[in-house]
A and B are shown apart, each in its own frame.
Chain A
Amino acid sequence: MAYDFRQSPVVDQVGIEERVARFNTRSIKKGSKVQALKLALNMIDLTTLEGKDTEGKVKQMCYKAMHPHLALPDLPTTAAVCVYPTMVKTAKEALKGSKVKVASVSTAFPSGNSTMQIKLLDTKLALDNGADEIDMVISRGEFLKGNYNFVFDEIAAIKDLTHKYNARLKVIFETGEISTLDNVRRASDIAIYAGADFIKTSTGKIGVAATMPVTLVMLDAIKDYYFKTGIQVGMKPAGGISTAKGALQYLVMLHETLGNAWLDNKWFRFGASSLANDLILQLEKEAKGVYYSKDYISVD
Chain B
Amino acid sequence: MAKKEAKKLEYFTDWKYAPSPEATDHIRLQKQYDLFINGKFVKPNSGKYFDTINPATEEKISSIAEANDKDVDSAVKAARGAYDKIWSKMPAKERAKYIYRIARLIQERARELSVIETLDGGKSIRESRDIDVPLAANHFFYYAGWADKLEYAFPNRNPKSLGVAGQVIPWNFPLLMAAWKIAPALATGNTVVLKPAETTSLTALKLAEIIQESGLPDGVVNIITGHGPVGASMVNHKDINKIAFTGSTGVGKWIQKAIAGTDKKLTLELGGKAANIIFEDAPINQAVEGIINGIFFNQGHVCCAGSRLFVQESVAEEVIKKLKDRLETLIVGDPLDKNTDIGAINSKMQLNKINEYLKIGINDGAEMYQSSCSIPKKGFFVRPTLFLNTSQSHRISQEEIFGPVLAIQTFRTIEEVIEKANNIPYGLSAGVWTDKGSRIFNLTSKLRAGVVWANTYNKFDPTSPFGGYKESGFGREGGLHGLMPYLKF
Contacts and interface: CB of A to CB of B under 8 A. Distances in A.
Contacts of A256: 11, 329
Contacts of A35: 15
A231 B1 contact: yes
A295 interface: no
B20 A27 contact: yes
Contacts of B20: 27-29
B85 interface: no
Interface residues of A, number: 38
Contacts of A32: 15-18
Given A10-B435, A31-B18, A19 B9 contact: no
Given A12-B283, A15-B456, A220-B285, A230 B6 contact: yes
A251 B13 CA distance: 14
A263 B15 contact: yes
A261 B10 contact: yes
Q: Which of the listed residues A15, A19, A263 has the most CB atoms from chain B within 10 Å of its own CB?
A: A15
For chain B, what secondary structure do more than half of its interface residues adopt (helix, strand, loop), or is it mixed?
loop
Contact of A26 (B5, B10, B287, B339): B339
Contacts of A229: 3
Interface string B253-293: 00000000000000000000000000001111111011000
A129 B145 CA distance: 70
A258 B285 contact: no
A26 B17 contact: yes
Nearest to A19: B289
B286 A255 contact: no
Q: Which of the listed residues B281, B289, B290 has the most CB atoms from chain A within 10 Å of its own CB?
A: B289
Interface in B4-26: 4-7, 9-20
Contacts of A258: 9
A75 to B, nearest CB: 18
Interface string B118-131: 00000000100010
A10 B289 contact: no
A229 to B, nearest CB: 7
A264 B454 CA distance: 38
Given A32-B15, A230-B4, A25 B283 contact: no
B281 A25 contact: no
A252 to B, nearest CB: 8
Contacts of B329: 256
Contacts of B338: 25-27
Contacts of B282: 10
Contacts of A30: 18
Contacts of B15: 32, 35-36, 39, 251, 255, 260, 263
Contact of B130 (A25, A224, A231, A251): A25
Contacts of B455: 12, 14-15
Interface string A13-28: 0111011000001111
Q: Which of the listed residues B13, B286, B287 has the most CB atoms from chain A within 10 Å of its own CB?
A: B286
A227 B7 contact: yes
Contacts of B14: 260, 263
Contacts of A220: 285
A32 B16 CA distance: 6
Contact of B11 (A226, A230, A255): A255
Contacts of B13: 260
A276 to B, nearest CB: 20
Contact of B283 (A10, A39, A231): A10
A32 B289 CA distance: 25
B353 interface: no
Given A9-B283, A29-B18, A36-B15, A15 B10 contact: no
A33 B16 CA distance: 10
Contacts of B281: 10
A178 interface: no
Interface in B335-356: 338-339
Contacts of A120: none
A226 B10 CA distance: 13
Contacts of B412: none
Contact of B286 (A19, A26, A27, A33): A19
A259 B10 contact: yes
Contacts of B287: 15
A229 B126 CA distance: 36
Interface in A81-112: none
Interface string A210-235: 00000000001001101101111000
Q: Which of the listed residues B9, B130, B283, B339 has the most CB atoms from chain A within 10 Å of its own CB?
A: B283
A297 interface: no
A11 B286 contact: yes
B7 A9 contact: no
A9 B4 contact: no
Nearest to B6: A230
15 contacts: A9-B285, A11-B285, A18-B289, A19-B286, A19-B289, A25-B130, A26-B338, A27-B17, A27-B20, A30-B18, A32-B15, A229-B3, A231-B3, A251-B15, A263-B15
The list of the 5 closest CB pairs from A to B, nearest first, reads A15-B286, A259-B9, A27-B20, A12-B283, A230-B4
Interface of A: 9-12, 14-16, 18-19, 25-33, 35-36, 39, 220, 223-224, 226-227, 229-232, 251, 255-256, 258-261, 263
Given A19-B286, A26-B338, A255-B11, 13 more contacts: A12-B455, A14-B456, A15-B455, A27-B338, A30-B18, A227-B7, A230-B3, A231-B3, A256-B329, A259-B11, A260-B9, A261-B9, A263-B14
